[in-house]
Amino acid sequence: MALVMFLRVAVTFSVLFATYVNGAASDGTSLPPGACYWRQGSLVNRTPTGPVEPIEDCRFVVRDLEFLDILGPSPKVVELVKTNAHEGAVWYPDNNEFYFSSVRLEGPNGVVRTDLKKVNLRTRVVTTLSAPLDDVPNGMVLDNDGNLLVCQQGSRTKGGFIQRINLKTMEKTVVADNWFGVPFNSPNDAVVKRDGTIWFTDPSYGSVQGFRDAPNVKNQIYKISTSGVVDAVADGFTQPNGLAFSHDEKRLYVADSGFALGLQGQFDIARPHSVTVFDVGTDGLLTNRRLFASVAVYDGSGPGLGIPDGIKVDTAERVYIGTVDGVQVFSHSGKPLGLIRQPGVPNMGFAGKRLNTLYMLNDTTISFTKLKVRAAGLAYASSRPW
């Protein structure tokens, strides 16, 4: 989600003494340490919705037994480093570095500033790069040549743009900054297909949060061709946010975080909190738009429903969505599988030689968990000779 006020929810649970999967008693399958089942509650019967015993140490909430195939026998959530980490979540395998953007407020008027940073995954040392603060970097992705693509949201004096950073020389170039002469609103998150095209979302959070003027165009999804031509490929979103292609690149998932108005504590129940999926044609056009998942909070609490933000996928076509109670995992058909509990996760990214370690950002820490999966959509990392 663009900048400052990604909803934080303090998750609390009541102790129950039964184990359920999708509202039904479990079949006796043993759970790994740190995991618990989820149950459907009842408002009429005053039965809480959410995790059941053991609750206190539960970091992995199982809604479907397929989730156990993802977790493995001994899953853990480990804190890598305490730091202001909000968006980005990109692994650069050449130096074993993890790139991210942070958010901070300055001055009596709460001026939004962001930093572009990296952390060395071996030494855990955090370094701030020299990117201009007033460009407000947000989401990032590596292109197929290992360059860092950064969604720069812009400022009052500069429109938003997609920036390419050569991580070997730190040379910076502008990939695209307009659609038919109209400046972008606030580029938020980006992905790269195997053919080299760049796809990104462009919500209006910069205007909402006061560091950009009112937008001149609808909040759309754009595609940048390998020759630099920009085309709008989808609209009809309130605030398009995270996006990801399926492993076979035949589907595109797009989060809409419009439920969160972009300011502290302000929400609109009539706005979306969902993920849409499109079919991707061989001509690169999007068709057959449909709901993939309407995202809620696993314990049924909080000031509102879930706010889907960053999206990642694995090679088994499962979908990982960052939201207020952690990372929710869905099957390729949209079936909820489970939750990695980590309050307030705007984005996350996979890293490691096996692409099986999921790093989660939540504005105060970067934490990780090793899973029995392999991430998809990381062409550069997948091509490295290990």
CATH of the domain at 116: 2.120.10.30
What local confidence, expressed as pLDDT, does residue 106 receive?
59
Q: How far apart are CA 256 and CA 179, in angstroms?
A: 21
What local confidence, expressed as pLDDT, does residue 273 receive?
86
Q: How far apart are CA 345 and CA 362, in angstroms?
A: 5
In a domain, 279, yes or no: yes
In a domain, 10, yes or no: no
* Exposure string over 355-381, b if 16+ CB within 10 A, otherwise e: bbbbbbbbbeebbbbbbebbbbbbbbb
In DSSP terms, 91 is beta-bridged to 98
The contacts of residue 29 (CB under 8 Å, 6+ apart) are 65, 68
What is the value of pTM for the model shown? 0.91
Per-10-residue mean pLDDT of the chain, 386 residues long, equals 43 36 59 93 90 83 96 95 94 97 64 83 92 75 97 86 95 96 94 97 82 85 97 94 97 88 66 91 93 91 77 97 96 97 95 97 96 96 82
In which domain, by residue range, is 26 found?
A: 20-382
Tokens 């076979």 belong to which residue? 248
In a domain, 2, yes or no: no
Residue 54, preceding peptide bond in cis (omega within 30° of 0): yes
In a domain, 15, yes or no: no
What local confidence, expressed as pLDDT, does residue 30 receive?
84
What DSSP assignment string belongs to 201-252?
EE-SHHHHTTSSPPPSS--EEEEE-TT--EEEEE---SSEEEEEE-TTSSEE
In a domain, 63, yes or no: yes
Number of domains the chain contains: 1
Q: How far apart are CA 51 and CA 14, in angstroms?
A: 8
What local confidence, expressed as pLDDT, does residue 82 receive?
96
In a domain, 4, yes or no: no
In a domain, 271, yes or no: yes
Task: Show the tokens assigned to 334.
Answer: 């949209």
Distances (CA, A) of 146 to 192, 248, 277: 11, 21, 27
In a domain, 32, yes or no: yes
Q: How far apart are CA 326 and CA 33, in angstroms?
A: 18
